[in-house]
Amino acid sequence: MKDFSSLKTPAIARAGATLSEVATPALMLDLDAFESNLQFMASLARRHGVALRPHAKAHKSTMISRQQIALGAVGVCCQKLSEAYPFVRAGIDSIHISNEFVGSDKVAMAVELAGLIKLSVCVDHVAQVDAIGKAASAVGVTIIVMPEVDVGHGRCGVDSNEALAALVDRMAAYPGLRFGGLQAYNGGIQHLATWEQRRLEAARSADRVAQYIRFLEARGAACPVVSGAGTGTVEFDVASGVYTEMQPGSYIFLDGHYGSNEWAGDYTPKHGLFILSTIMSTAKQHKAVCDVGLKGVAVDSGLPRVRAGEYEDKLRYVSANDEHGILQVAADDMRDHLGNRVMLIPGHCDPTCNLYDQFVCFRGDVVEAIWDIDARGLSY
Ligand SMILES: Cc1ncc(COP(=O)(O)O)c(C=O)c1O
C-alpha cells in the first residue's frame, strides 16, 4: 500500500494573498472594523472607570484576547472550564467562568486552574458551593465565588434574597473560597430592537442588582465586583453606577442579529465578521448555490445576509443544507457568475466561530494574518 501519511491539507489562505485566493468557505475578520470595535469598548470602559472583561466565548481565540488585554481589559470571561485552558496557556492570568457547573470532572478543572491563575466562578446552589469549597480547601487553592443573581434573564441564577444569603453564608465554611461579588447578566434584553426598549430594561435589571447589593451590604458583605452586561446594553450598564465590570463578547464582530438592533449611542459598531463563499452552481434559473451551509454558518439567529456590495440586491440566502447555501436570485440568469465570491454576514457570531479553526484576517482586498480559534470545540 502506498504511504500518503505525509500529505498535508492545503492552508485556507496565506498572509499577503488577495481575497480571491482564499479557499472557501472561510471565516473572515475585517481588521479595520474589528479594531474600531475593540477601541470603542476599551475607551467606553476607561471613560466610566469600569473594568472590561470581554467574553471569550464569542471568538474563542487567544490572539483576540491578548489584544483586548493590551487595550486594558482586566482578563477574560469563559463560559466553560475547558474553554479557559488555551487562555491560561497563552498567559492570561485572570479568568471568570461566567456560568454554573456541576460534577467532579468540572470541579477538578476549576481547582487545577485556580492553582495557576486568579479564577472566579459562578454558583446558584449550595451543593455547588460545597463541592467547589471542599475540593479547593483540600488542596489549598483559592477560588473566588460569585453567586449569580437572575436580573431578568430567566436562565440560571438565584431569584431571592434568601437563596443568595444561603450561598454567601455557606462559602464562609470553606477556607478555599472567597466571596467575590455578584454575576448579574441579562442576556434576554440584549437584542431588543430599539435603543429605548434596551435602555428601559437595562435600568430594570440594574435596579434588581442594586437591591441585591443593598441586601448583602446590610448583612455586612460588600460586593467587590458586580459583573455583567452584553454588547446590546453595555452603554447603559456602564453608566448605571451598579456594575463594576463589563462582559461584552460580540461587540468585536457585530453579527447579523446585533446588526438589526437600533444603535443610538456614542458609537455604531461595525460588521467585522463575514463568511466568504463561492457560487458553486448556477444550473437552475432564479437560483444559485454557494458553498456555505450549516457546517459553515449558525442559523439559530437567522440566515446569513449578503454584505452590501455587488450582490446585495441580486441575491438572498434563503436556505441552508449541510454544505450548500441556496441563494434566491433577482437576475434571470446567473450562469456567468459561477465561481464568483459572495461575502455573507452570519446571524450569530458565537456558534459560527466555533465551526472554524481559523480567522482569515483581511484589510481591503488583502489577507493580513491568519489567527487560530484555539478554544474551538472546548465546550465541556
Ligand atoms: C454570561 C454572559 N456574559 C456575557 C455575554 C456576552 O454577550 P454578547 O456576546 O451579547 O456581548 C454572554 C453571551 O451570551 C453571556 O452568556
pTM of the predicted protein model:
0.97
Mean pLDDT of 310-336: 92
Q: Give the residue from 197, 225, 252 where a domain finishes.
A: 252
Q: Give the residue from 252, 286, 302 where a domain finishes.
A: 252
Q: What is the pLDDT of residue 330?
A: 86
CATH no. for residue 153? 3.20.20.10
Q: Are residues 44 and 24 in the same domain?
A: no
Q: Are residues 215 and 277 in the same domain?
A: no
Mean pLDDT of 168-175: 98
Q: Give the residue from 252, 281, 309 where a domain finishes.
A: 252
Residue 327 lies in a domain: yes
Q: What is the pLDDT of residue 123?
A: 98
Mean pLDDT of 289-299: 98
Please write the tens of the pLDDT for every residue from 10-61: 999 999 999 999 999 999 999 999 999 999 999 999 999 999 999 999 999 9
Residue 120 lies in a domain: yes
Do 256 and 62 meet the contact criterion of CB atoms below 8 Å apart? no
Q: What is the pLDDT of residue 139?
A: 98
Measured from the Cα of 349, ligand 1's closest atom is 9
pLDDT beyond 80 at 111? yes
Measured from the Cα of 234, ligand 1's closest atom is 11
CATH no. for residue 297? 2.40.37.20
pLDDT beyond 80 at 220? yes
Residue 257 lies in a domain: no
Q: Are residues 24 and 38 in the same domain?
A: no
Q: Are residues 147 and 197 in the same domain?
A: yes
The H helix count followed by the E strand count for the chain is 10, 18
**pLDDT category, 267, cuts 50, 70, 90?**
confident
Q: Are residues 147 and 282 in the same domain?
A: no
Write down the mean pLDDT value for the chain.
Answer: 97
Query: Distances from the Cα of 87 to the Cαs of 63, 119, 180, 209, 244, in angstroms?
Result: 9, 12, 21, 29, 23
Calculate how far, in angstroms, residue 59's C-alpha sits from the geometric centre of ligand 1: 11
Calculate how far, in angstroms, residue 158's C-alpha sits from the geometric centre of ligand 1: 18
Q: Are residues 184 and 289 in the same domain?
A: no
Q: Are residues 23 and 37 in the same domain?
A: no
Q: Are residues 247 and 275 in the same domain?
A: no
Please write the tens of the pLDDT for every residue from 136-170: 999 999 999 999 999 999 999 999 999 999 999 99
Residue 261 lies in a domain: no
pLDDT beyond 90 at 332? no
Query: Ligand 1 test: best mutation among 57, 182, 225, 233, most atoms within 8 Å of CB?
Result: 57
**pLDDT category, 331, cuts 50, 70, 90?**
confident
- Write out residues with Cβ below 6 Å of ligand 1: 55, 58, 77, 98, 185, 187, 190, 230-231, 247-251
Calculate how far, in angstroms, residue 186's C-alpha sits from the geometric centre of ligand 1: 9
pLDDT beyond 90 at 310? no
Q: Are residues 184 and 325 in the same domain?
A: no
Q: Are residues 37 and 139 in the same domain?
A: yes
Least confident window among 10-19, 200-209, 327-336? 327-336
The DSSP symbol for 250 reads G
Q: What is the pLDDT of residue 268?
A: 87
- Separation CA 116–CA 10 (nearest Å): 37
Residue 84 lies in a domain: yes
Could you list the residue range(s) of the whole structural domain that residue 339 is in? Answer: 19-28+269-372
pLDDT beyond 90 at 359? yes
Residue 81 in grid coordinates: 472550564
Write down the H helix ranges in the chain.
31-48, 62-70, 81-89, 104-114, 126-139, 161-171, 195-218, 234-237, 256-259, 349-353
Domain count across the chain:
2
Residue 263 lies in a domain: no
Q: Are residues 239 and 295 in the same domain?
A: no
Residue 322 lies in a domain: yes
Residue 134 lies in a domain: yes
Q: What is the pLDDT of residue 140?
A: 98
Q: What is the pLDDT of residue 285?
A: 87
Q: Are residues 52 and 131 in the same domain?
A: yes
Q: Identify any residues that bridge with 78 across adjacent strands, giving them in sequence order.
A: 97
